[in-house]
Chains A and B, each alone.
Chain A
């Protein structure tokens, strides 16, 4: 469905993206991110390099790295075209979170070291925020960084660390001032290689049978002063800015759009008796997704114009998680017991692959209403913002 009326520049940009995809996205790469087994990092790295060569990934970076300054609409169009082409999913952690963070707060040396490595796809980053005793209440984190002559010694435990088992770099929050007036004010942020002595990783298996999460132990991890991002005790601000970078994209809408078309395929093949009920649910979810897409687009526009209400990211997160989770359940249900038959040689074609996808993802994406601020936190943020602002609807 066409989304909106575009200017001639936007249309030209879209044509450019389409032409690029026709030439540079090999057919066998299409859809590689859709199965439960994720594509290998070498492929992703190559894909990042091809897009980076167009200058499309560096809007907002320091001038010496900046490619093209894409408008909000153009970035949105790029996302839509990539999703429509079923291009390999780009890693949000590196491109949408870490890179903007370092671009904004990092020293020139940190920028010159890390940013090219992100653009070449060679670095994978893991984020050390959550701890066993600090989940939604992140400010109560206990990991410490103690100043020593030539740097800091970090001690503590991080948990739910996605990709720590394959990551090359790590950024984490640690307490540098135990006596700060507010717990938020005594926290700093550090950037360090995963190979630093004292770091060990314990895998955490989740109920989808895959390995996403880890526990990361930091035992007397010695880092130089240059590992500090920005200023000491300002880490909380950087963490907030990081979430700002990602907050509008947190609903992860385009993959959900791809998922919807996969679920539609399965629903179309469901038993005739079940089909009307499934279609009704699919229709409801597509309606929700339509509204989510426009809410997301508008949130970007409002952010640019400075006319936000402040709770937009929470709306997106709440709805984005709901639509993703409901779609996966619908896909799983429409396949019925076939959903588990993917490894059987007798599984019908449409069930193989798709089956494991829906069952495992419907389990794993229960996490979507937990990570990045649980749905309960989002609801509270929305209500509090409305009640404290007193701004009319």
Chain B
């Protein structure tokens, strides 16, 4: 039975959990987003977090979806917002799956060592406000379009930019461009305290795409699926922390002379939080295992189901955690506030829960047709 963690995987998780618990969660937030540095980058690189998912041929550890999920869960549990998904899944893996790793050796080495951050821009499917159209003009490619929020753009070395090919909306082109060439000059902060910038391009010459057409679509799907899995896993980790924190608060906090956990209204709502979390965890584990078994047609819809449930459950648990903590839940003093902010910021990045439900719905209706 493939549905259990190997000893190595358990060990990997334990090491991560212990090490992340030792990391200071709060760094000093600089005034200028361009000065953002994650204090834990080096430590994460030492733990192999950046190397884990990259193939051994590029200096990585060659681990798979189950490990990707473990990493995501533990980062969420530690409420640590990292550029891991953007850098490893949506930059590193995407470049590798386009079968041009040779061209990006330095970049991959930088990623593995925790020196280089990647960012990802543009997918009109997810966000109608965000998208690029590309067209070939002689020897160069011109790109027009907007991505209003590109997380990590101000600090990234490379931005992976995806656009549709003019005249053929089914065909994609992917560019890897130096961040300073495309990112808007005025950066800003996201709600989870990460640096971001807009990208607005008007007929910009981005040179040659590194993948076009079927190759681009395949590479995007590979990177995207891992990103989606890691994101759901991170949401699960955040939920676990919120549940632990809320359970202990309900046990310890006394009002009217009794512990809050003795109130039935709160018991019932807490039980619904547990159920929502367990559903999300179940779908994520199932998706990871199927993904690991290499059955792409099987795991596709399951990933949407997973993303939908993780999004909905994390929102529910986040808001309930605040409610049950009372006004303290609205502050930055407890872990609850930062965890909820991370959820609110993270959930829509790879498609809102409703988007994934709708995608699942069209899958069902196309099956019926």
Whether the Cβ atoms of A279 and B261 lie closer than 8 Å is no
B contact set with A: CB distance below 8 Å: 1-4, 239-240, 243-244, 247-248, 250-251, 261, 264, 266-268, 270-272, 274-275, 277-280, 282-283, 285-286, 289-290, 293, 295, 298, 301-302, 305, 308-309, 357-358, 360-365, 368-369
- With A283-B361, A319-B275, A393-B244 already in contact, the answer to whether A294 and B285 are too (CB < 8 A) is yes
Contacts of A4 in B (CB 8 A): 1-3, 286, 289-290
A300 to chain B, nearest CB (A): 11
Are A283 and B364 closer than 8 Å at their CB atoms?
yes
- List the 10 closest pairs (A to B, CB-CB), nearest first: A383-B267, A379-B271, A283-B361, A291-B279, A382-B271, A5-B2, A268-B368, A279-B361, A283-B360, A294-B282
A81 beta carbon closer than 8 Å to chain B: no
* A263-283 CB contacts (< 8 Å) to partner B: 264-265, 267-268, 275-276, 279-280, 282-283
Q: Are B271 and A380 in contact (CB under 8 A)?
A: yes
Contact A287 B305 (CB under 8 A): yes
30 contacts between A and B (CB under 8 A): A1-B298, A2-B290, A3-B286, A4-B1, A4-B3, A4-B289, A264-B368, A268-B368, A268-B369, A276-B361, A283-B358, A283-B363, A284-B308, A287-B308, A290-B302, A291-B280, A294-B282, A294-B283, A295-B282, A297-B3, A314-B271, A379-B267, A379-B268, A380-B268, A382-B271, A383-B270, A383-B271, A386-B274, A390-B247, A393-B243
Across the interface, B267 reaches (CB within 8 A) one of A268, A280, A295, A384, namely A384
What residues make up the interface of A, taking CB atoms closer than 8 Å to B? 1-7, 73, 264-265, 267-268, 275-276, 279-280, 282-284, 286-288, 290-292, 294-295, 297-298, 301, 311, 314-315, 318-319, 376, 378-384, 386-387, 390, 392-393
B250:A387 contact, CB within 8 angstroms: yes
| Given A4-B289, A288-B279, A298-B3: A315 touches B274 (CB 8 Å cut-off) | yes
Name the CB-closest residue of B to A279: B361
Pairwise interchain contact A268-B298, C-beta atoms closer than 8 A = no
A392-B21 Cα distance, complex, nearest whole Å = 15
Centre residue among A3, A291, A376, A382 by max chain B CB count within 10 A:
A291
Which chain A residue shows the least CB distance to B272? A379
Which residues of chain B are within 8 angstroms of A276 by Cβ–Cβ distance?
Answer: 361
Given pairs A318-B271, A386-B270, 9 additional interface contacts (CB within 8 A): A5-B289, A73-B1, A275-B365, A279-B362, A283-B358, A291-B282, A379-B271, A382-B274, A387-B267
With A287-B360, A380-B267, A383-B270 already in contact, the answer to whether A1 and B282 are too (CB < 8 A) is no
How many angstroms between the C-alpha atoms of A392 and B244 in the bound complex? 6
Q: Which residues of B contact A275 (CB under 8 A)?
A: 365
| Minimum C-beta distance from B127 to chain A (A) | 19
Q: Which residues of A contact B309 (CB under 8 A)?
A: 287, 291
Whether A284 pairs with B357 at a CB distance below 8 angstroms is yes
Q: Residue A387 contacts which of B261, B277, B293, B295 (CB distance < 8 angstroms)?
A: B261
Query: What's the Cα separation between A1 and B287 when bound, in Å?
Result: 12
Chain A hits for B277, CB < 8 A: 393
Shortest beta-carbon distance from B140 to chain A in Å: 42
CA distance A380 to B261 in the complex (A): 11
- Bound together, the chains give a CA A290 to CA B301 distance in angstroms of 11
B261, B275, B357: the one contacting A315 at CB < 8 Å is B275
Chain B residues lying within 8 Å of A283, measured Cβ to Cβ, are 308, 357-358, 360-361, 363-364
Query: Given A1-B302, A380-B267, A384-B267, A319 and B279 touching (CB < 8 A)?
Result: yes
Question: In the complex, are the beta carbons of B3 and A280 less than 8 A apart?
Answer: no
